[in-house]
Amino acid sequence: MRSVLEEASEILSGPIGSPKGRRRLAGLRRVEVSAVAETRSDTGEIERLRAALGERSLVLVGMMGAGKSSVGRRLAMKLQMPFADADVEIEKAAGMTIPEIFASRGESDFRDGERRVIARLLAEGPKVLATGGGAYMSAETRERVGRMGLSVWLKADADVLMRRVRKRSNRPLLKNPDPEGTLRRLIDERYPVYAHSDITVLSRDVPHDVVVGEIIDALAQRFSLDGAAE
């Protein structure tokens, strides 16, 4: 799809004095003005959302494969906020990968480190924070997120999650003879806890930017910002 500038260049190189050329150029001007107005509107909404968040972080929770990291990065860019991935920060702190932590230290030690890292990341200031699937199961972490952030659950159906996690081999909890059965058991255990999140958005097979837009809309509704600038 050509940009406005590319199409304008084509018009200017042709018979601009013709009625057809003038009509096309006028149409482009309307498109350009509309695009600028939409950008300003988006910028105003983002500024209001950030003001409403104040010193709180947006904390993405949900199962492995829900898209927390991918969506989180795009959400952070949209909101012009820092982004952090708790799993990446855990690996940096430990000096080893998460599968290696599970293998050498066990899940209990991993969860202790996870709580400490998330506490540190939240204390650093407002950001978009993607957390691991089991992080929100900690009552201590839920309480801290409730005080210092706003939780967003990316909820996905089991079939969607299974299709996604099959593509990667770095899921320690699924390294067993029945990964699908394990995933469904974890869903049964975790979904009632995830349901306590402040906002729930459906994660499904659509572009990540669609999910980002839905999170933005849900935030605007929560803060009653719809129409605030009208």
The domain limits of the chain are 4-45, 54-222
- Whole-model pTM: value is 0.78
Is 167 annotated as ligand-binding?
no
Q: Give percent above pLDDT 70 in the chain.
A: 78
Is 133 annotated as ligand-binding?
yes
The domain over range 54-222 is classified in CATH as 1.20.1280.50 = no
Burial 185-200 (b: 16+ CB within 10 A, else e): ebbeebeebbeebbbb
Is 18 annotated as ligand-binding?
no
SS3 of 78-97: the string is: HHCCCEEEHHHHHHHHHCCC
- How high is the mean pLDDT of the chain? 84
The answer to whether 36 and 29 have CB atoms below 8 angstroms apart is: no
Is 69 annotated as ligand-binding?
yes
Model pLDDT for residues 155-199, shown as the tens digit of each residue: 999 999 988 888 776 677 777 778 889 899 999 999 999 999 999
Q: According to the model, what pLDDT value does residue 229 have?
A: 39
